[in-house]
Structure 1
Amino acid sequence: MADYLVKCHHDRAAALDLYAWNSLAGSAYWETLGHLEIALRNVLASQLAARHQTKGRPGSWLDDPGQDLDATAREEIRKARQRVRRKGKHASEGQAISELTFGFWRYLLAKQYNTTLWPSLASGFPHAPSRARHTIEQPIKRLHQFRNRLAHHEPIWNKELTQRQQDIYDVLTYIDPNLHSWVAKRCRISAVLLTCPVPRPHP
Structure 2
Amino acid sequence: MAPPRTARSIAPVLYHSLSADRLEDYLAEVPNRDASHAIALYLWNTEISGAFWEALAHLEVALRNALAGQLAARHGRRQRPGSWLDNVAKELDRRAERDIGKARARVQMNRKPPSDGQTISELPFGFWRYLLTKKYASTLWPDVANAFPYSPDRSLATVEQPVHSLHRFRNRVAHHHRIWTEPLSQRWADLQALLSYLDPVLCDWVIFNSRVPAVLKTCPITRPHP
TM-score range, shorter chain: over 0.9
Partner of 2:205: 182
Partner of 1:134: 157
* Shift of residue 200, structure 1, vs aligned partner: 1.1
Q: Which amino acid aligns with 1:26?
A: S
* 1:3 is the counterpart of 2:25: yes
Q: Deviations over 1:170-202 (max 9, x none)?
A: 001011111111111101100000111111111
- Highest CA radius of gyration, 1 or 2? 2
Partner of 2:145: 122
Q: Which amino acid aligns with 1:5?
A: L
Q: What CA distance in whole angstroms lies between the structure 1 residues aligned with 2:219 and 2:133?
A: 35
Partner of 2:187: 164
Q: Deviations over 1:83-116 (max 9, x none)?
A: 0100011221000000000000000001100000
TM-score (norm 2): 0.89
Secondary structure at 1:154 match in 2: coil
Of the two structures, which has the highest relative contact order with CA contacts closer than 8 Å and spacing of 6 or more?
1
> Aligned-pair RMSD on alpha carbons?
0.6
Q: What CA distance in whole angstroms lies between the structure 2 residues aligned with 1:91 and 1:12?
A: 51
Q: Deviations over 1:64-88 (max 9, x none)?
A: 1111100110110000000010001
Q: Deviations over 1:10-65 (max 9, x none)?
A: 10111000000000000000000000000100000000000000000111100011
Q: What CA distance in whole angstroms lies between the structure 2 residues aligned with 1:8 and 1:193?
A: 18
- Superposition pairs for residues 63-142 of structure 1, below 5 Å? 63-142=86-165
Q: What CA distance in whole angstroms lies between the structure 2 residues aligned with 1:28 and 1:91?
A: 33
Counterpart of 2:78 (choices 55, 66, 77) is 55
Q: What CA distance in whole angstroms lies between the structure 2 residues aligned with 1:93 and 1:158?
A: 38
The unaligned stretches of length 5 or more in structure 2 are: 1-22
Q: What CA distance in whole angstroms lies between the structure 2 residues aligned with 1:97 and 1:8?
A: 43
- Superposition pairs for residues 10-49 of structure 1, below 5 Å? 10-49=33-72
Identity %, equivalent residues: 53
The unaligned stretches of length 5 or more in structure 1 are: none
TM-score (norm 1): 0.99
- Runs of 4+ aligned structure 1 residues displaced above 6 Å come to none
Partner of 1:145: 168
Secondary structure at 2:220 match in 1: coil
Q: Higher mean Cα deviation, 109-118 or 146-155? A: 146-155
Q: Which amino acid aligns with 2:93?
A: D
